[in-house]
Amino acid sequence: NAGVTQTPKFRVLKTGQSMTLLCAQDMNHEYMYWYRQDPGMGLRLIHYSVGEGTTAKGEVPDGYNVSRLKKQNFLLGLESAAPSQTSVYFCASSYGTSRLSYEQYFGPGTRLTVT
């Protein structure tokens, strides 16, 4: 099993450009999450999904959109990138209610720089 994978690993955008980050998991997890990690700030939840076709806002959702059309994929979109969105983005997944397991499994991260 590959676990949680993220594409791309690195990206540089100019202000105003758009992009989509892809997260894929092969563990049949119900729940998926997108976090951002900034120096000295720990991880902050952007959006999450409790199942295919459902999404919800986290702590810092502004400027981001998400979609979960397939259970194994969770996409994070930036419609008009801003320098404040320079960060490392992590995707995670968990079993959720299917196994009452609360451990989250993380991807390797995407380092995004907006100039």
Partner 1 sequence: SQQGEEDPQALSIQEGENATMNCSYKTSINNLQWYRQNSGRGLVHLILIRSNEREKHSGRLRVTLDTSKKSSSLLITASRAADTASYFCATDAGGSNYKLTFGKGTLLTVNP
Q: Which residues bind partner 1 (CB under 8 A)?
A: 4, 31, 33, 35, 40-45, 48, 50, 58-59, 90, 92, 94, 96, 100, 102-109
Between 14 and 40, whose beta carbon lies closer to partner 1? 40
Shortest distance in whole angstroms from residue 9 CB to partner 1: 10
Contact between 68 and 74 (Cβ < 8 Å): yes
Between 59 and 79, whose beta carbon lies closer to partner 1? 59
Shortest distance in whole angstroms from residue 80 CB to partner 1: 26
Q: How far is CA 107 from the centre of its chain?
A: 9
Between 20 and 106, whose beta carbon lies closer to partner 1? 106
Nearest CA to 85 out of 58, 113, 110, 109 is that of: 113
Q: How many CB atoms lie within 10 A of CB 20?
A: 14
Q: Residues near 40 by Cβ (< 8 Å), separated by ≥ 6? A: none
Between 38 and 79, whose beta carbon lies closer to partner 1? 38
Shortest distance in whole angstroms from residue 96 CB to partner 1: 6
Q: How far is CA 67 from the centre of its chain?
A: 10
